[in-house]
């Protein structure tokens, strides 16, 4: 047999794989997908074997032997290997980093896959003797007595230590031939079974249609867009589809947005199914994450729920993928490996031959376009489940109104009416903190971040200025730095300021503030739910964290303090985002049997987008927006890639992009180039940023171009002097 070499993906910022030979000390050729330790320069790195070859690319005399094989088996099923390899190419990100991203931190660091405690048991000789044989050593006698009843599985050394039996004692027994240590227990893989904890609801007609469509396709690839208004019972469709998947002895993967993974969501899955459910999210310790990952990998976890990167969890019996709130931005990673988990979920389903369901009340225009062409089957839930009607939406004109912390008197009256009836109210705004800016009443000076092109936000308790873009923070000044005036005023209403104003207006009513600052404590959601569930008058004040899938049955009024903030963003997706946000927030009103009211405060109540939303809902808005996108050839009717460059001087980033563009314009299949231009926030954390946008009418042509062009750009001398990256299918042009 001829000699084979290992192709190893290493976590280094290079696109290639690296060749290693198999040292004589290895008893067999390692499996593809296993981790391996290899020498790399002066270091030792842990990589993943992604291929074996008889004809390596590196010269044979340059190939070094690998050092140590970490896994006896592959960590990635073949479909997942394919998915990751494809993603590395498509997003133009180094393959070794992609594989490394897909692994839990502890595995990346070389930790054993299995908890691998050393166990002790008696040898056949040790079983023949009696405790009396060891009467000269009380310690050895105690050890023998502890081991004797547990011959079948042995006892872990950790446990023995807890009962004061030391390793030295056990070794003494081993020396006499009475005891032996042994390694990892046989690994048992699992297959899911369907077990209910409570019976499912009786699905209504549209739910039944959706559930049938999905479950009919179990065992084959098919994409679905579950387009259901808030409260229409999408979750029930997920749950009943998952039930069929489990009945087929297959695992289900559920992806949720970063801030959608609430205890409520998980509780709904847990109360329906008496099966093993694991969660993967950023709040886990490394050890907890590894444990959850391993349960999925071994097939024990029947349902795996998690945020973006959970998509890369190996699941040997994967039978169904669900992406809830598929429009959510958090499915796209915004740094390093800039993948879109929603898009990759489609590919993963295709490779695993299973259905994938994208669900939302406000589907992304991308998914709506795919549903229109028939690539996705479009399933509708048009009515709220359980006969609850849609809320009424009304606009309040902000112009010329006297405001108290951003509240008009019409809104204050509406709040008072609801509270009097012991109902609950949500006040929504998009700013954290007490007041966004510090302003000089005499000269108009505004506090800005010294490192960014951005205003700096005033926080209370403790009183400090914080930049939300770079993390810079400082004491607020006592005098205006421009004119020395003492008249510094906090303007604009952040969550804290609104909370304070409401507390003054309604001193007896509990008020909960929900934003990133208030929810960092672990018990804050818990306290909130306790108060919400007792169904007494209460007010919630929050940022967009409140817009996600929560279920607050007694909320009958939802208000947006500034519905039009965001309408004029630089991004071509700005209006899509605003429409989604308004619709989602409005969906929190009147979820149970009381009628809901939504009040939108706006400085431009006649804005066509707001009017369109009010008269035709999100669907009508989406139709209009799609027509607009088609006209200008923007996604989903065009394909984008964005190059971002950052440098210490503004010209440096722009010059690099100009040079890169001129190298691209002469190539075949060159896309349209837009720019280069300074980024919307040109200066951030003291660094100057510039953008070059590429737009093509065909995905494949753009990809072919990128492969050739990026090789050329990488070799430009300037490319090594600044930081830059490519973002394929960017979600934000920021
Ligand atoms: P969505 O996920 O679409 O926002 P949910 O799944 O949270 O909607 O459902 C909203 C409410 O309607 C929940 O309280 C749920 O228990 C209830 N519900 C859903 N489907 C049914 C049904 N078929 N019969 C009765 N109640 C239902
Ligand atoms: Zn001043
Ligand atoms: Zn800053």
Which residue is closest in CA terms to ligand 1's atom 4?
Answer: 231
Ligand lying nearest the CA atom of residue 232: 1
| Beta-carbon contacts of residue 177 (< 8 Å; ≥ 6 apart) | 123, 125, 126
**φ and ψ at residue 357, rounded to 5 degrees:** -115, 120
**Alpha-carbon gap, residue 670 to 661, rounded angstroms:** 10
Tell me the pLDDT band of 521, cut-offs 50, 70 and 90. low
- CA of residue 435 to ligand 2 center, whole Å: 18
Contact 230 CB / ligand 1 (< 6 Å) = yes
Which one is predicted more confidently, 183 or 580?
580
Which residue is closest in CA terms to ligand 1's atom 5?
Answer: 233
- CA of residue 682 to ligand 3 center, whole Å: 11
Which residue is closest in CA terms to ligand 1's atom 15?
Answer: 233
Contact 551 CB / ligand 1 (< 6 Å) = yes
**Alpha-carbon gap, residue 165 to 147, rounded angstroms:** 11
The answer to whether the CB of 432 falls within 8 A of the CB of 543 is yes
Which residue is closest in CA terms to ligand 1's atom 9?
Answer: 233
Tell me the pLDDT band of 392, cut-offs 50, 70 and 90. confident
Tens-digit pLDDT profile for residues 535-559: 678 888 877 766 665 667 788 898 9
Judge whether residue 500 has pLDDT over 90.
no
pLDDT the model gives residue 431: 57
**Highest mean pLDDT out of 85-99, 112-126, 157-171, 403-417:** 85-99
**Best mutation site among 198, 328, 386, 596 for ligand 1 pocket (most ligand atoms within 8 Å of CB):** 386
Q: What's the mean pLDDT in 167-189?
A: 80
Torsion, Cα of 562, 546, 391, 607 (10° steps): 30
Contact 338 CB / ligand 1 (< 6 Å) = no
> What residues are neighbours of ligand 3 (ion), with CB under 5 Å?
449, 451-452, 467, 469-470, 472
Q: What is the mean pLDDT of the chain?
A: 88
**Best mutation site among 206, 233, 379, 584 for ligand 1 pocket (most ligand atoms within 8 Å of CB):** 233
Tell me the pLDDT band of 335, cut-offs 50, 70 and 90. very high
Tokens of 663: 């190298």
pLDDT the model gives residue 265: 80
pLDDT the model gives residue 517: 61
- CA of residue 229 to ligand 1 center, whole Å: 11
Ligand lying nearest the CA atom of residue 472: 3
Which atom of ligand 1 approaches the CA of 235 most closely? 6
pLDDT the model gives residue 569: 61
Ligand lying nearest the CA atom of residue 446: 2
Residue 230: which of 546, 562, 599, 551 has the closest Cα? 551
Which residue is closest in CA terms to ligand 1's atom 23?
Answer: 203
Judge whether residue 509 has pLDDT over 70.
yes
Q: Is 364 exposed, middle or buried (0-12, 13-18, 19+ CB in 10 A)?
A: buried
Report CA-CA distances (Å) from 579 to 350, 369, 576, 608, 614: 31, 17, 5, 12, 10
Residues in the chain: 734
Contact 385 CB / ligand 1 (< 6 Å) = yes
The answer to whether the CB of 645 falls within 8 A of the CB of 623 is no
pLDDT the model gives residue 441: 76
Contact 234 CB / ligand 1 (< 6 Å) = yes
Judge whether residue 198 has pLDDT over 80.
yes
DSSP states of 496-563: HHHHHHHHHHSTTS-EEEESTTTT-STTHHHHHHHHHHTT-SEEEEESGGGGSS---TTEEEEEETTT
Tens-digit pLDDT profile for residues 441-476: 787 788 888 888 777 888 777 788 888 777 788 999
Contact 235 CB / ligand 1 (< 6 Å) = yes
Tokens of 448: 């800005």
Contact 592 CB / ligand 1 (< 6 Å) = no
Tens-digit pLDDT profile for residues 37-53: 999 999 999 999 999 99
Q: What's the mean pLDDT in 572-587?
A: 84
- CA of residue 204 to ligand 1 center, whole Å: 10
- CA of residue 467 to ligand 2 center, whole Å: 21
Ligand lying nearest the CA atom of residue 450: 3
Tens-digit pLDDT profile for residues 261-307: 677 788 889 999 999 999 998 888 998 999 999 999 999 999 999 99
Judge whether residue 72 has pLDDT over 90.
no
Which one is predicted more confidently, 10 or 520?
10
Tell me the pLDDT band of 673, cut-offs 50, 70 and 90. very high
Q: What's the mean pLDDT in 370-397?
A: 86
Ligand lying nearest the CA atom of residue 681: 3
Tell me the pLDDT band of 342, cut-offs 50, 70 and 90. very high
Ligand lying nearest the CA atom of residue 237: 1
**Alpha-carbon gap, residue 347 to 330, rounded angstroms:** 18
- CA of residue 350 to ligand 2 center, whole Å: 61
Tell me the pLDDT band of 614, cut-offs 50, 70 and 90. confident
Contact 236 CB / ligand 1 (< 6 Å) = yes
Contact 250 CB / ligand 1 (< 6 Å) = no
- CA of residue 277 to ligand 3 center, whole Å: 41
Lowest mean pLDDT among 162-171, 321-330, 712-721: 162-171
Judge whether residue 26 has pLDDT over 90.
no
- CA of residue 453 to ligand 2 center, whole Å: 19
Judge whether residue 704 has pLDDT over 80.
yes
**Best mutation site among 225, 227, 236, 593 for ligand 1 pocket (most ligand atoms within 8 Å of CB):** 236
H or E segment and range at residue 306: strand 303-306
Judge whether residue 520 has pLDDT over 70.
no
Contact 201 CB / ligand 1 (< 6 Å) = yes
Lowest mean pLDDT among 32-36, 180-184, 229-233: 180-184
Which atom of ligand 1 approaches the CA of 207 most closely? 23
Judge whether residue 331 has pLDDT over 60.
yes
Contact 207 CB / ligand 1 (< 6 Å) = yes
- CA of residue 685 to ligand 3 center, whole Å: 5
Which atom of ligand 1 approaches the CA of 229 most closely? 3
Judge whether residue 4 has pLDDT over 70.
yes
**Best mutation site among 211, 231, 260 for ligand 1 pocket (most ligand atoms within 8 Å of CB):** 231
Tokens of 468: 């939300």
Contact 204 CB / ligand 1 (< 6 Å) = yes
Given the structure tokens 């506090």, which residue do they identify?
A: 447
- CA of residue 619 to ligand 1 center, whole Å: 21
Which residue is closest in CA terms to ligand 1's atom 20?
Answer: 233
The answer to whether the CB of 223 falls within 8 A of the CB of 355 is yes
The answer to whether the CB of 290 falls within 8 A of the CB of 299 is no
The answer to whether the CB of 318 falls within 8 A of the CB of 352 is yes
pLDDT the model gives residue 519: 57
- CA of residue 447 to ligand 3 center, whole Å: 11
Contact 360 CB / ligand 1 (< 6 Å) = no
pLDDT the model gives residue 550: 62
| Beta-carbon contacts of residue 40 (< 8 Å; ≥ 6 apart) | 10, 12, 18
- CA of residue 232 to ligand 1 center, whole Å: 6
Tens-digit pLDDT profile for residues 149-161: 887 778 887 788 8
Contact 203 CB / ligand 1 (< 6 Å) = yes
The answer to whether the CB of 726 falls within 8 A of the CB of 92 is yes
pLDDT the model gives residue 570: 62
Residue 32: which of 4, 61, 83, 74 has the closest Cα? 74
Q: What's the mean pLDDT in 55-73?
A: 90
Kindly report the number of other CB atoms within 10 A of residue 34's CB atom: 19
- CA of residue 152 to ligand 1 center, whole Å: 49
Q: What's the mean pLDDT in 673-687?
A: 87
pLDDT the model gives residue 514: 75
Distance between start and end Cα atoms, the chain: 55
- Global pTM value: 0.84
């Amino acid at each position: 047999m001829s000699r084979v070499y290992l192709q190893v993906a290493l976590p280094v910022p290079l696109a290639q794989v690296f060749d290693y030979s198999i040292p004589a000390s290895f008893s067999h050729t390692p499996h593809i997908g296993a981790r391996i330790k290899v020498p790399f320069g002066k270091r030792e790195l842990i990589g993943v074997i992604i291929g074996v070859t008889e004809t390596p690319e590196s010269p044979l005399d340059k190939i070094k032997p690998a050092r140590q094989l970490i896994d006896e088996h592959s960590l990635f099923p073949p479909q997942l290997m394919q998915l990751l390899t494809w993603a590395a190419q498509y997003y133009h990100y180094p393959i070794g980093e992609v594989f490394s991203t897909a692994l839990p931190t502890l595995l990346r660091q070389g930790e054993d896959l299995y908890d691998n405690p050393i166990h002790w048991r008696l040898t056949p000789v040790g079983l023949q003797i009696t405790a009396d044989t060891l009467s000269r050593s009380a310690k050895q006698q105690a050890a023998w007595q502890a081991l004797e009843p547990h011959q079948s599985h042995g006892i872990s050394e950790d446990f023995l230590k807890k009962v004061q039996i030391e390793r030295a004692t056990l070794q003494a027994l081993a020396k006499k031939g009475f005891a032996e240590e042994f390694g990892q227990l046989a690994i048992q893989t699992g297959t899911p079974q369907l077990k209910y904890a409570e019976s499912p609801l009786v699905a209504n007609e549209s739910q039944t249609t959706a559930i049938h469509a999905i479950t009919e396709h179990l065992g084959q690839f098919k994409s679905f867009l579950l387009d259901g208004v808030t409260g229409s019972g999408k979750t029930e469709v997920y749950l009943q589809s998952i039930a069929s998947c489990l009945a087929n002895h297959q695992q289900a993967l559920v992806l949720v947005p970063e801030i959608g993974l609430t205890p409520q969501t998980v509780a709904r899955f847990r109360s329906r199914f008496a099966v093993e459910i694991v969660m993967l999210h950023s709040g886990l310790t490394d050890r907890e994450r590894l444990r959850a990952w391993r349960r999925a990998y071994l097939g024990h976890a029947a349902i795996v729920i998690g945020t973006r990167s959970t998509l890369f969890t190996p699941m040997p019996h994967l039978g169904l993928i669900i992406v809830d709130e598929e429009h959510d931005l958090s499915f796209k990673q915004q740094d390093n490996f800039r993948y879109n988990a929603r898009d990759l979920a489609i590919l993963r389903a295709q490779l695993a031959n299973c259905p994938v369901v994208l669900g939302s009340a406000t589907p992304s225009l991308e998914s709506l376009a795919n549903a229109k062409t028939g690539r996705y089957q479009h399933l509708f839930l048009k009515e709220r489940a359980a006969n609850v009607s849609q809320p009424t939406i009304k606009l309040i004109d902000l112009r010329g109104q006297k405001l108290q912390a951003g509240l008009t008197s019409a809104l204050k009256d509406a709040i008072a009416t609801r509270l009097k009836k012991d109902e609950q109210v949500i006040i929504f705004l998009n700013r954290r903190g007490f007041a966004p800016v510090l302003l000089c009443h005499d000269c108009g000076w505004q506090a800005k971040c010294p490192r960014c092109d951005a205003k700096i936000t005033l926080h209370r308790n403790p009183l400090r200025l914080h930049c939300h873009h770079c993390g810079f923070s400082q004491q607020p000044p006592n005098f205006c730095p421009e004119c020395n005036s003492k008249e510094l005023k906090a303007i604009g209403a952040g969550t804290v300021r609104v909370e304070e104003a409401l507390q003054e207006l309604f001193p007896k009513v509990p008020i909960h503030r929900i934003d990133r600052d208030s929810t960092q404590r672990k018990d804050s959601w818990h306290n909130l739910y306790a108060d919400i569930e007792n169904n007494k008058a209460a007010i919630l004040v929050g940022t967009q964290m409140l817009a996600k899938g929560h279920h607050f049955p007694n909320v009958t009024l939802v208000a947006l303090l500034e519905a039009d903030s965001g309408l004029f963003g630089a991004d071509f997706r700005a209006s899509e985002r605003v429409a989604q946000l308004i619709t989602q927030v409005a969906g929190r009103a009147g979820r149970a049997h009381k009628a809901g009211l939504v009040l939108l405060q706006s400085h431009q109540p006649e804005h066509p987008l707001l009017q369109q939303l009010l008269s035709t809902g999100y669907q009508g808005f989406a139709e209009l927006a799609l027509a607009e996108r088609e006209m200008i050839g923007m996604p989903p009717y065009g394909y984008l890639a964005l190059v971002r460059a950052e440098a210490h001087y503004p010209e440096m980033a722009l010059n690099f992009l100009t040079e890169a563009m001129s190298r691209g314009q002469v190539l075949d299949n060159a896309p349209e180039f837009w720019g280069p231009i300074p980024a919307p926030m040109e200066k951030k954390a003291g660094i100057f940023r510039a953008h070059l946008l590429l737009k093509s009418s065909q995905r494949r042509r753009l990809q072919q171009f990128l492969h050739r062009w990026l090789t050329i750009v990488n070799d430009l001398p300037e490319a090594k002097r600044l930081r830059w990256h490519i973002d394929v299918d960017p979600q934000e042009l920021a």
